[in-house]
Amino acid sequence: MTSPTLSRKRAQALIESFRNQPILVLGDLMLDVTISGVVERVSPEAPVPVVRVSKENATLGGAGNVVRNLAALGARALPLGVVGQDEAGRRICSLFKEQGLPIRGILESSTRPTTVKSRIVAGRQQMLRFDREIHTWLSGEDQRTLGKRVRSLWDGAQALILSDYDKGAISPGLLEDLLPEARKRGLIVAVDPKMRNFSGYQPVSVITPNRGEAARAMGRQVESDAEIEAAGRGIQEKLGHPLVVLTLGEAGIAVFEPDGPVTRIRTTAREVFDVSGAGDTVVAVLTAALAAGASPVESAALANAAGMVVVGKLGTAVARTEEILDALS
């Protein structure tokens, strides 16, 4: 395994080439709510801390966070997904509009609520998270409508990102319906996977499992270099030999090219505050770089640097150009 470098000049040129590049993002849209405050005492009612709330903030999560990361680097991200006919769904659409992003690819469903993840944070410490969600697949009608929305937007697109959080938006039927046609159109199809759909991610161009997802997919631990290599090659065998970019947390990224060597990209030491949404950043930057003509290793190196940036921030966050360039330095 080698450990390549990416120069600041080359990285900047790649990011500049993202500008106005059309990339579709299909997946589970979520509203991420952060309730922030301070802890000054323990509750007299139970042995739990009392958080005195100072502010509440809502941001785009899940597939919406992938969109945010692309938009922050100048790409023309086109969100596709499902929200409920509720206040959280309306808030997601409003947040997209505030960022100048189109919402014509977003379906309002009468049969499911919007996924909301709420975090209570004191200082820089997350105290509790509670989720409002369901995991059932889309109804047949919603699935057909969402498929039509995808087809209405992919003319001229360079890539399609599948942001699968296992909330039901990306169903086996939708994958079977869209993926063969996406390949015929020459789209780069990148997927941030979940186990329930794993065998259905065919054909795709690139898949970005983390260590835990790779271990579950292969039914074995993924710790040593030999185990990492076996897992990456095994995933390629399962899915028709796509590019596999295996994210390994503080150990960096392993890149498995379909007909090439395994390349290991290390991280530099930095303090980790929150890993929420780091996978969103990685798949966003990786896909944009591939669509811009970067090599798999260059794309992964850029994505690795972006991932290092966001784990140093609290909550779901984006990596901006100068931050990525500084991380590479």
Which helix or strand (DSSP H or E) is residue 63 part of?
helix 63-72
Residue 326: partners with Cβ closer than 8 Å, 6 or more residues away: none
Name the residue among 208, 273, 303 with its Cα closest to residue 15. 303
Classify the phi-psi angles of 293: left when phi > 0, otherwise alpha if psi is within -120 to 50, otherwise beta. Answer: left
- First-to-last CA distance in the chain? 22
- The Cα-based distances of 76 to 19, 295, 309 in angstroms read 7, 21, 22
Rounded to 5 degrees, what are φ and ψ at 269?
-65, 130
Whether 28 is a known active-site residue: answer no
Classify the phi-psi angles of 200: left when phi > 0, otherwise alpha if psi is within -120 to 50, otherwise beta. Answer: alpha
Concatenating the DSSP letter of every residue in 88-156 gives HHHHHHHHHHHTT---TTEEEESSSPPEEEEEEEETTEEEEEEEE---PPPPHHHHHHHHHHHHHH-TT
Report yes or no: 232 and 204 within 8 Å, Cβ to Cβ.
Answer: no
Q: How many CA within 13 A on the CB side of residue 59? A: 18
Retrieve residue 9's tokens.
């000049």
Largest pairwise CA distance in the chain:
63
Burial class (CB in 10 A: 0-12, 13-18, 19+), 306: buried
Catalytic choice (28, 142, 192, 280): 280
Retrieve residue 271's tokens.
């303090």
Question: Which positions are catalytic?
Answer: 280
